[in-house]
Every structure is written in C-alpha cells, then in structure tokens.
Amino acid sequence: MGRRVLVTGADTFWGGRMIQALEGDPDVDMILGMGSSSPSVQLERAEFVRADQTYSTLSRIVRATQVDTIIHTFLVVDSTLVRPRVLHEINVIGTMNLLAAAGAAESPVRHVVVKSSTLVYGSSEKDPNTFSEDEPRSSPPRTRVERSLVEAESLVRDFAEDNPSTTVTLLRFANVLGSDIVTSISKNLSRPVCPSVFGFDPLVQFVEEDDVVRALEFVTRHQLPGLFNVAGSGRLPWSEVASICGTHLVPLPPVKPALALRPFIQLGLFDFPPELESLLRFGRGVDTRRLVDAGFRYRYTSAGAVQNFIRSLRLRRSAGHRPETYTYEHDVEQFFRHSPSVVVRGGPAPPGSFGPGGS
Amino acid sequence: MRTLLRQIYDPVYSKWFRAEWEGLEKIPTEGGALLVANHAGAIPSDAPVIMHGIEKELGRPVYGLADYFFRTVPVVGTLWSRAGGVSANPDNAYRLLHDQRQLAVVFPEGTKGPSKSFTDRYQLRRFGRGGFVEIAMRTGVPIVPIAVVGSEESMPVVFRLPALAKLIGVPYFPITANFMMLGPLGVLVPFPAKFRLRVLDPVTFDVPPDQERYSKSRVMDEVENIRTLIQETIFDMLRDRRSIWFG
C-alpha cells in the first residue's frame, strides 16, 4: 500500500513545491495539502483543505484521512513576511498542535518530517566555522524568528522522545536562493544596492531551492530518522555574493546598523530583518556530511545556488515576469477529482488514488 | 587578499624584526600539529611573525587560533580571518588539526599575556584552563612549544585603562610606549626589536584520541610542563641576549 501524506503550508511556496514533487511519486497514494489560504500552484491529484492550525481541526483531519506521513513545511523563517505575533502562532503553536494531533492515541502517523532552518544555530562571534548537527548554538537566541524556531524544534524533540515508534526527521536548511523563491536576502541581492556591515565580510552558505525539495523528498522516501543540515557545499564571502549578483554593497555603521537603515527599510529600499544583521557580521556555516553520507546528492553548491539565482533573475529582468496564470477554484478542483463525469485516462488508477485531473 | 597581506608583511618580518629561528626542523612537515607560544606586546607581533615565518621557511600555512573578540572588530576581524585566523573554538581546532591535518598556533595565555605591563615582561601568565592540551590529546597531534623573544619590547605596555576598556567593550586598553612616543601612529608601529624564536621538542601524549573526557589532573600537569618548558627557554634565551634591538 502506498503512503498517505499530509503537507502543511500548501498555500506557501514550499508546501506547493513539495506537493508537486510528491504528485510525481507513484508510491504516494494520497496527498493532502493543508493551508490557510488558496494554494498558489496548480495541483494535479492532491486534495486541498483550507484549515487553520488549531488542534481540533488537525486531529480530525489526521484521523479522518489516516495519513501515515506528515511533512511540516509551514515554519516561517523570514520575519519580514509576517507580524511577530503571527510568527509565534505559526511556528510554535502551529507545530505544537500538529505534533499533538500526530501523537494522539491510535494515531496512524508513522513519519514526521519538519523543515527547520540553520537559523537555530544563530550567528555570533563564538560560533565554530561549521556547525555540525549535534553542536549547540553558542549564544542565546536574540531575534523572534530564532526564538520561535528553537522552541518549535524543542517541541519536535519532545515529540520524538514521547513517540519512539514514529520516525521523526528534522531538516535544517541554510539560506535558500533559487529561481523562484523570494526571501529578504534574494530581494536585497536583486536590487542595485545591498546592505552590508562596515568592516565585516562574513562567509555565508546557501542552498538551492530544488535541493531543498529534493532533500525533503529524499528523507520522506527513505524514512530517515534524525537531524540533518541541508546546505550547498562551500561558503563564500558576502562581498563575492554581491559581485556575482552585480549589486553594490552599502556599508552600514557597525553600531546599530538597523537604526541607520530604518527610513530606507520603511521606504522599501532595503530588507533588513534582525536575523540578517548578525549573519552579515559573522556569517554561518554548517556541516552537511551527515545527509551526504546517508546517500543524498546535491545538485548545487553554495556558489552554484547564487549563480542559478542570478541567471534566472537576469532572465526575469529581460523577459519580464511570468504571468500568474493559475488561481485556485475550489469547485472546479473538486469537480475534477470527484465527479463521475471526469474520464480518467492513463491506465487503471489504483484504488484510493486519484487519476490525473484535467487541466 | 592573503598573498597581498603576506607580501606587505614580509619586509616587516625580515627587515623590521629580523626574525631568526632555531630548531625549525622540529616542526612536522606534514600532518597536524599544535604550536604553542608565549604572547606579548600590547598588539602582539608574535602571532604574525610565527604564522608568516613558518609559511615562509617551511611552505606550510599556519592557522592562528584567536580570541572570539577578534571577530567583533570591524575590518580587523575580516583581515585576520583572510590572513588565516580562526576563532579559538574547540570544534574549529579539531577540524583544522584532525580533519584537515594542518598546523595551528595558539597562545594559551590569551589576553592575559599581551595586557600585562612591561614590568612583568617575559613572566608567563597562567596557561588558560588547558583546552589546548585537551584538543591535542583528542586529535592525537603533537604539541610543539615555541619560545619567542622580542615581542615584549616591540610594543611595551606602560599602563592600562580598565574603565575605558569596559566602556568600549574590549578585553584591555593598553597605553603603550609606542603610543606615547609616536601618537596615534604608535597603534600601528611596533618598535624594531630583534625577534628570536626557538622551537622546542614536540610533546606527545600517549593517550587514546577522540575521548569524550581526559583526566583533568593529567591535562593540568601537561599544561604546567609546557609552560615551564617555554618559561625556562625564554630565560635561557634572555641570558644570551646582548641587545634588545640587535639580539
């Protein structure tokens, strides 16, 4: 019997990407996407349910669908995206409710995958050059997003301890760059000027967005338990990243750089979330040997991720933005999936799965 | 960047300090080794002299393990890391010595060495808490002690301003003889004291590597041995020194 997978954050970039990747996997019988707004990408056979992250909804969904795998992509790692309160609600309370539902008595869930970030290592002068998975962070978390991720991870660890029969995988991703993802770093790099802190040229590490999805898929398929760093190999100086991207670095005063930048942030000329400040001072590197030893092969190095990002940015600049063609229409999607009038082509569909919907 | 820094520093090394080595053959030509030396002079020149010197004479890079504080200083921290400096984090040291089999230099006195005043010159301070011996045991590399003479006179500390240091958040704020004689330029210019460096016999420990813990008393014994060894050698070298400036 194939697997039944629940993906959180189906309306976000990662959830959508992850569902698309799983749809091509014949071993996956059922995919259920969950999100608080409509999905932004076209889904072929996945079901989508609009739900908030409260416990009662989650446990009902888990029980009713008998999912055996949960992929939790809905952790916010960029504090410019949501307000602080919402950040805490999503990262901590959302994760808590999800894990509570997954750990309920007679729960069908056998595997939980959580997408976290290397932000949990922080970035300080006391850091080692490369963090291995078991290394604790060397300074207490100072920014909201780091605090919430550290808290969410501790919930995951507690869950793993309380439910020894469930495989728990925690992936920590480095800063992502790629052809489609928009983060505060990618926004900075795509402008003519980009912030840096005067006198600091930190080594930073990136991971390409396709490698992120492939890593999530890899651990899901192989049911690898444990904690893994995911990042492209090598680190490169921030000044080099900027020169590859053809942007000019604006050195900010080393004392309270965010203060000097505030008017410009408000005008939308810079993105400078607090978690970026320490990164631009001390950088961050992680050891990726554990996932590589488990058999995962990266397509891109850190520098390759930057290259790929700037190449697609150049294309977008020259050819304009790709038009957004897809809007989710609930009734239409339901019709394609459940109406007896829809003819399923491409061989007999195994019971419990859904044929390729029309498009 | 690194080549440029080395080119700039070379005349300082060979013309200004006229550094001379003894026993360079005792430094392993391959495999990891932890070099341990005394540390002195308000802005200590012994670190660049050792790092540049060994790379020049033996063709092997030496990575300097330094206080975390270095990384927080704009410009200096970046230059230092480009020149081969690394935060003295046990994990960094392990990677350098064990995984990459490189040479690393550490000054166990830490900031206590350079911050001591000129009246205490060549009196070694406490050698930390023995982390350097532990890391050598864990990685299974030898410790090569180096005694340096000349660094004390290159930038003598006349007195310190602890209150000011606390205010601006630095480990110590020395007023040096250089500063008093040359003004602000004295921060950058050390006196041309003659540098002599003597490499001592490598110290090995017959303990199994990669242990979680090592006997603290054993570690502290070894620390004290190495400290005494360097201290005795320095006194010995000072007995033979005729002039501060010409050796």
In tens, the pLDDT along A217-271 reads: 999 999 999 999 999 999 999 999 999 999 999 898 888 887 877 787 777 778 8
What pLDDT score was predicted for residue A347? 45
Q: Do B86 and A129 touch (CB under 8 A)?
A: yes
Average pLDDT for consecutive 10-residue bins of chain B (247 residues)? 89 93 92 94 91 93 90 88 89 93 93 90 90 94 95 91 88 89 87 94 92 90 94 94 88
Taking the CA of residue A336 and the nearest CA in chain B, the distance in Å comes to: 56
From residue A148, give the alpha-carbon distance in Å to each of A87, A91, A117: 8, 6, 11
Task: Say which residues have a Cβ less than 8 Å from residue A91's Cβ, sequence separation at least 6.
Answer: A75, A76, A145, A148, A149, A151, A152
Please tell me which of the candidates B78, B91, B92 has its beta carbon nearest to residue A200.
B78
> Distance between CA atoms of A3 and A13, rounded to whole angstroms?
23
pLDDT over 70 percentage in chain B:
100
Residue A116 contacts residue A172 (beta carbons within 8 Å):
yes
| Residue A324 banded pLDDT, cuts 50, 70, 90 | low
Query: What is the per-residue burial (b if ≥16 Cβ within 10 Å, else e) of A238-251?
Result: beebbeebebebbe
* DSSP element (H, E) containing B236: helix B216-240
Q: Do B89 and A201 touch (CB under 8 A)?
A: no
Go through the domains of chain B in sequence order and give each one's CATH number: 2-238 (3.40.1130.10)
> Distance between CA atoms of A102 and A165, rounded to whole angstroms?
12
Task: Locate B190 and state its tokens.
Answer: 């050390």
| Best B1, B2, B63, B68 residue to mutate vs chain A (most A CBs within 10 Å) | B68
Residues 96-125 of B with CB under 8 A from A: none
Residue A186 contacts residue A309 (beta carbons within 8 Å):
yes
> Distance between CA atoms of B119 and A359, rounded to whole angstroms?
85
Taking the CA of residue A233 and the nearest CA in chain B, the distance in Å comes to: 16
> Distance between CA atoms of B128 and A121, rounded to whole angstroms?
27
| Residue A85 banded pLDDT, cuts 50, 70, 90 | confident
Please tell me which of the candidates B77, B82, B91 has its beta carbon nearest to residue A128.
B91
Residue A270 contacts residue A255 (beta carbons within 8 Å):
no
Taking the CA of residue A243 and the nearest CA in chain B, the distance in Å comes to: 16
pLDDT over 90 percentage in chain A:
56
For A160-191, how does the pLDDT look when each residue is reduced to its tens digit (9 = 90+)? 999 999 999 999 999 999 888 889 999 999 99
Q: What is the arithmetic mean of pLDDT over A101-127?
A: 92
User: What are the DSSP calls for B172-224, one per residue?
Assistant: --EEEHHHHHHGGGGGT----PPPEEEEPPPB---S-SS-S---HHHHHHHHH
Domain with residues A3-177+207-231+286-299+324-338, CATH architecture: 3-Layer(aba) Sandwich (3.40)
> Distance between CA atoms of A141 and A79, rounded to whole angstroms?
14
Residue B122 contacts residue B193 (beta carbons within 8 Å):
no
What pLDDT score was predicted for residue A328? 77
- The CA angle A230-A234-A237, to the nearest 5 degrees, is 115
Q: What is the phi/psi pair of residue A114, to 5°?
A: -120, 130
Q: Does A345 score more than 80 pLDDT?
A: no
For A19-49, how does the pLDDT look when each residue is reduced to its tens digit (9 = 90+)? 999 998 889 999 999 988 888 788 888 889 8
């869930």: which residue's tokens?
Answer: A109
Q: CA-nearest residue of chain B to A238?
A: B78
Residue B155 contacts residue B42 (beta carbons within 8 Å):
yes
Residue A30 contacts residue A48 (beta carbons within 8 Å):
no
Q: Do A128 and B77 touch (CB under 8 A)?
A: no
Selected residue with higher pLDDT from A234 and A326: A234
For B38-95, how does the pLDDT look when each residue is reduced to its tens digit (9 = 90+)? 999 888 999 999 999 999 999 999 999 988 888 888 888 888 888 888 988 889 999 9
| Residue A341 banded pLDDT, cuts 50, 70, 90 | confident
Task: Locate A154 and state its tokens.
Answer: 């501790």
Q: Do A129 and B95 touch (CB under 8 A)?
A: yes
Q: Do A200 and B74 touch (CB under 8 A)?
A: yes
Task: Locate B15 and state its tokens.
Answer: 């013309």
Q: CA-nearest residue of chain B to A138?
A: B89
Q: Do B87 and A198 touch (CB under 8 A)?
A: no
Q: Is the ipTM of this complex over 0.95?
A: no
Task: Say which residues have a Cβ less than 8 Å from residue A7's Cβ, sequence separation at least 6.
Answer: A15, A18, A19, A22, A31, A32, A33, A34, A46, A70, A71, A73
What pLDDT score was predicted for residue A350? 45
| Residue A325 banded pLDDT, cuts 50, 70, 90 | low
Q: What is the arithmetic mean of pLDDT over A306-323?
A: 84
What three-state secondary structure class fits A303? helix
For A280-294, how does the pLDDT look when each residue is reduced to its tens digit (9 = 90+)? 999 999 999 999 999
Q: Does A155 score more than 50 pLDDT?
A: yes
Cβ–Cβ contacts within 10 Å for residue A60, how many? 12
